[in-house]
A and B are shown apart, each in its own frame.
Chain A
Amino acid sequence: MVGGFFWGLAVVAVAGALLCVTRRSPVASALWLVVTMFALAGMYLLLDAQFVAIIQILVYAGAIMVLFLFVIMLLNLGRGPSDMRGWIGRGVALLVGVGLALQLGVTYRAVRAAGFGQQTVAFPLPAGELQRAQEAQGAVGMVAGPLFRQYLIPFEITSVLLLVAIVGAVILAKRKL
């Protein structure tokens, strides 16, 4: 049942990604990318990451993609000449993409053959640890606890990064300060 849902969402995500890459109009590309992100949020739900799924929809599909659409419409990039590369470029892109996917698949198979999927030394936690943490602390508390203890300094650095990004974006996009 869960596996069926997962494969359905996987098909939607991959189809959305392929359409995003191949559509000529940037607006269509952006909207297909939103479809992919919603499918990914559904996959996160099935993988016991409810909070990340909501954040994926709010931040990625909501904020970042709206920013993209906003810039596309600001620059008036509707219908134009195709921006695809020539046949050599398309062949290279296809070859590199398929080659990379095959390589990642072969690597995964090799690692799994070495005992990664089973409960060996590679997994310090027993199976179902995430579900137990979730039942004890809730879906948000499970993430918030380590985020504000173990990962506090990276968290603060992230806030500085966002501040720098805001200032940089304003300076770059403004005509005259």
Chain B
Amino acid sequence: MLLGPALGVSAVLFAIGVGGVLLRRNAIVIFMCVELMLNGVNLTFIALAQQLGPDGQIIVFFVMAVAAAEAAVGLAVILAVYRHQESVNLQDLNLLRG
């Protein structure tokens, strides 16, 4: 019976991802922390799918597809920002600061 441990691990991974988003300033690393959060949620779905039937596993496929789309578009945005600013540090992106 691995439901409890799996839910615990997924909560810890999600919390580490949130902490990473708050800790870092590099846009790419923040992006990787978001992927970490998505992986934590996937683990929850898989653990509950073991109890509730295969629907949870199908949701995981959709999460992966959305993560792939998000990574492609997000990295393209980061590339465009780098071309403009010569930096991916969020502190340097202060165009809208008053």
Contacts and interface: CB of A to CB of B under 8 A. Distances in A.
Interface of A: 2-3, 6-7, 10, 13-14, 17-18, 20-22, 26, 29-30, 33, 36-37, 40, 43-44, 46-49, 51-52, 55-56, 59-60, 63-64, 67-68, 71-72, 74-75, 77, 83-85, 89-90, 92-94, 96-98, 100-101, 104-105, 108, 112, 117, 123-125, 127, 129-130, 133, 142-143, 146-147, 151, 154, 158, 161-162, 164-166, 168-170, 172-173, 175
Contact of A100 (B9, B15, B69, B78): B15
Given A20-B20, A49-B57, A108-B8, A67 B46 contact: no
Contacts of B11: 100-101, 104-105, 108
A125 B13 contact: no
A51 B25 contact: no
Interface of B: 2-9, 11-20, 22-26, 28-29, 31-33, 35-36, 39, 42-43, 46-47, 49-55, 57-58, 60-62, 64-73, 75-80, 82-83, 88-89
The main secondary structure of chain B at its interface with chain A is helix
Contacts of B23: 21-22, 84-85, 89-90, 93
26 contacts: A6-B5, A10-B5, A14-B9, A21-B19, A26-B28, A46-B2, A47-B47, A64-B68, A68-B28, A71-B78, A75-B79, A84-B24, A97-B18, A100-B11, A105-B8, A105-B11, A108-B7, A130-B49, A143-B61, A161-B69, A164-B69, A168-B73, A169-B72, A169-B73, A172-B76, A172-B79
Given A108-B8, A173-B80, 15 more contacts: A6-B6, A7-B5, A21-B29, A21-B33, A36-B13, A47-B50, A55-B61, A64-B67, A93-B23, A97-B15, A97-B19, A100-B15, A104-B11, A108-B4, A165-B69
